[in-house]
Structure 1
C-alpha cells in the first residue's frame, strides 16, 4: 500500500548521514566527556565542543551561548525556571497559543513562586494583539519581565512579527524568550541580527535524533545562569548537569549542518508542496476553512497547513481512517495525544459553532515529501467524504 508521511511538525525522519555519524560516535567514541585525564574522555569532549562550534556558526552565535538539553521541552523549562531564580523575573508575558511546555510551566511557576503571568489577547486568525502586549508591559514597568512567544506556531504555522516584539521588549527593558523549535533547522536564523535573549531548538524537528536539543542563551546572561532543573554536576557551564548525550549531540550538529547547506532548495520545494496542497483542498472541499494564517505563504511557516474537515457528527476515528488509507496526519500537537480533545490553539481561535461541524487536521510537510504524497492525501479525502464516514 502506498503511504505518505505528512506529520513532520511532530517529528521528522532522520537523515541517513546523521545515522552514520551517530553510529560511528557510539561505536568509537564511548568515553565519558568529563573524564579528561585520558584520551577516551578527551575524544568525546572534543566531539561535543566541535559540535557546539558548528551549531553556533550556523546560527551566527558564540559557542558558549549553546547549552545542550534533552530536547525542546527541557530547553523551554530551563529558560523559564532559571529566569525566575537567576534573573529575578517578577512577571511572565505569554499567549494562550504557546506549546504546553511553556503554558504548563508558567502556570506551575506562578503557583510555586507567586510570579504574575499575563496572557496577551489574540486577534482573529491567532494574531498577537501588540497594543494589548504594550499595555501589559507598561503596567508592569519597571518590574523584571520575561516575554515568552513562539516564533512559528507548531499547530497553525503563524509566524510571529518578531520585530514588533523586539521593539517593545527594548522599550520596556524586558527579556525575550522564543520557542523556535519549528524554526531552527527549517528556516535560517541569524542570532547576530535577531536580538533574542533565549531561543530553544530540538533536533528531531530538523531530521536529527530525538532526545537532544539546545537552548541559546545570550552571552551577557550566561554568567547569571545556574542549574535549577537538573543539579549535580558542572556540565554545560553548570547550567545543565548530567553526562552529555555525545552521539545525540553529534547527530544534532550533523543534521543542522545539512539543513543550512540546503536551505534555499528545501524551502522552495516545501512552499510549492504547500501551495499545491492548498489548491487541491480548495477543489475537493468547497469553502474549506484554513486555521490561523497557515494558508498565507508569507505569514506562516512553509511546513505547516491546518484546516477544518467538514463533518455531520463527531467521529474521533477520522485520523485513524486517514492512517488506514495510507496517510499520516495529525489533529494538532503530538504532546496532546487525546484525539477527543480539541487542541487548545484551535479552541482559542475558532468559533465554537464552526468547531461543532468540523474537525481540525494539521498537515506538515518535510524535505522527503513529494507531489505524489499530496495526491494520495487528496485521494483519501475524497474517499472519506464519498463513504460518508463522518
Structure 2
C-alpha cells in the first residue's frame, strides 16, 4: 500500500532516526528503573533521566530541577491547571483562558467551571490572537491563573506571550501564567525566564520524538510555583507526577530537544521556504482562497487554507495523495466545524472547506510540488462539479 505524502506535522511528527538511535539501548541492555538506587542498572537509568532533563531545560532556558516528565502535553496541562486552581475552599478562584485553546485546555477549563471555578474564555481577533485590552479588562483581584496557547495548533498564530505576561502581572502580581507550548517548542526560540512564565507544557511527538512522553516546566523561584498533587503514588518527579519513569521515551525527548536546539535556526528557514512555496503555489492557481491565521506571526510550518465554493467530503476524497487534516487531530472525531475557525469569524461552510498543512523536517521540494498539484486539481474538480467550471482559476 502506497502511503500518502505526510503534511500533518501539527498532529504528530515521525521519530527522527537520531532520536530512535538514542532510545534503543534503553529498551534492551539499559533497562533499569531509575528509582532502583542500590545497583548500577538503576544508576544508569537515573543518569539518562538527568541528561534528558538537562537537554529539555536547555531548549527552553529553564533550570533542570524545573522540568517534570509526564506522558505528554495533555497530562502536563491537567497537572498545571488542576494543580494551580483545582480546589475551591471558601473562595472562588478565577481562571482566564481563550476560545481558541487546544481541546485539552478547553475541557479542563469547563470541568473546573463545573467544580465552581470562575472561568473566562477570552475572544480573539481575526488572526486568532488575544487582544491585550481584552485580557486586561478580564483580570480580577481573584484571578489565580491565565492559561494561554503559545502557538495555535490549527492556524499557527503566535500569541504575544511576553507582552501578555508583563501587563497581566502588572495588574495582578499574584496570578500565575501557564502556556501550552506543544506547537511552539522546537519551532520558536523560547526562554521561560525572559518571558516570565510560570508553567509551560510540551510533548515529545511534536518535535520528532516518541509519543507518550512530555514535560511540564514549573518555575522554582520568583515566584516558586506550588501545585496541589493531581496523581498520587510513590513520589517520583517530586511527587508532582508519581509513577515509574518512561526511560526510553524520556531519553528520546531529551535527544529531540537537543536536536531542535542545535538545528532550529536552519530548519526554520528551510521549512518556511517550503511552506511559502506551498502557499504561493495554491494561491497562484486558485481564486477564492483564504489563508487563516496571522500573516506574519505564525508558525513557519503552518498553512491553514479555506476554499470557497468547495465541498468538504469531495475535497478530502480528492486529496488522498497527501496526508492533511481538516482540523485538530485531537478533535477529528467531532464532526462539528473547528472552534478555532469559528472564533476568528469563518462561516460554518467555509470552515468545513479548510485544509491544515504542517510542513516538517522530512518534507521535500517534490512533496510540495505534489501537494500543490493535488490540491489545485481537487478544488478545480470540486468547483466544476458544483458550478460547471466557474470559480476554478486565479487567471
Q: TM-score, normalised by structure 2?
A: 0.90
1:185-334, aligned counterparts within 5 Å?
185-220=186-221, 224-228=226-230, 230-293=231-294, 296=295, 298-312=296-310, 314-316=311-313, 318-323=315-320, 326-334=321-329
* Cα distance, 1:68–1:87 mapped onto 2, change above 3 Å: farther
Q: Which residue of the partner structure matches residue 390 of structure 2?
A: none
1:107-256, aligned counterparts within 5 Å?
107-112=110-115, 114-137=116-139, 140-141=140-141, 143-171=142-170, 172-173=172-173, 174-220=175-221, 224-228=226-230, 230-256=231-257
* Residue of structure 1 aligned with 2:371, choices 364, 371, 377: 377
1:51-62, aligned counterparts within 5 Å?
51-62=52-63
- CA shift at 1:29, angstroms? 1.6
* Cα distance, 1:86–1:190 mapped onto 2, change above 3 Å: farther
Q: Deviations over 1:259-306 (max 9, x none)?
A: 11111110000111121112111112114111121xx2x311101110
* Cα distance, 1:307–1:223 mapped onto 2, change above 3 Å: closer
Contact 1:226 / 1:238 at 8 angstroms: preserved in 2? no
**In structure 1, distance between residues paired with 2:110 and 2:249:** 31
**In structure 2, distance between residues paired with 1:198 and 1:119:** 19
Q: Which residue of the partner structure matches residue 333 of structure 2?
A: 338
Equivalent pairs counted in the alignment come to 378
**In structure 1, distance between residues paired with 2:72 and 2:218:** 15
Q: Deviations over 1:302-342 (max 9, x none)?
A: 01110102335x4435324312xx20100111001137321
Q: Which residue of the partner structure matches residue 45 of structure 2?
A: 44
- CA shift at 1:18, angstroms? 0.8
- CA shift at 1:129, angstroms? 2.2
- CA shift at 1:223, angstroms? 6.5
Q: Which residue of the partner structure matches residue 393 of structure 2?
A: none
- CA shift at 1:116, angstroms? 0.2
**In structure 2, distance between residues paired with 1:85 and 1:339:** 27
* Cα distance, 1:34–1:260 mapped onto 2, change above 3 Å: same
Contact 1:227 / 1:241 at 8 angstroms: preserved in 2? no
**In structure 2, distance between residues paired with 1:153 and 1:224:** 27
Q: Which residue of the partner structure matches residue 21 of structure 1?
A: 22
- CA shift at 1:63, angstroms? 0.6
| Correspondence 1:63 to 2:64 | yes
Contact 2:315 / 2:379 at 8 angstroms: preserved in 1? no
Contact 1:169 / 1:175 at 8 angstroms: preserved in 2? no
Q: Secondary structure at the match of 1:381?
A: helix
**In structure 2, distance between residues paired with 1:246 and 1:353:** 44
Contact 1:29 / 1:40 at 8 angstroms: preserved in 2? yes
**In structure 2, distance between residues paired with 1:333 and 1:144:** 29
Q: What is the root-mean-square deviation in Å for CA atoms of aligned residues? A: 2.0
Give the ranges of 4+ consecutive aligned residues of structure 1 lying more than 6 Å apart after TM superposition: 86-89
Q: Greater shift after overlay, 1-10 or 23-32?
A: 1-10
Q: Deviations over 1:168-218 (max 9, x none)?
A: 222122211110111112222122322110111100001000000000000
Contact 1:329 / 1:363 at 8 angstroms: preserved in 2? yes
Stretches of structure 1 lacking an aligned partner (at least 5 in a row): none
- CA shift at 1:73, angstroms? 0.5
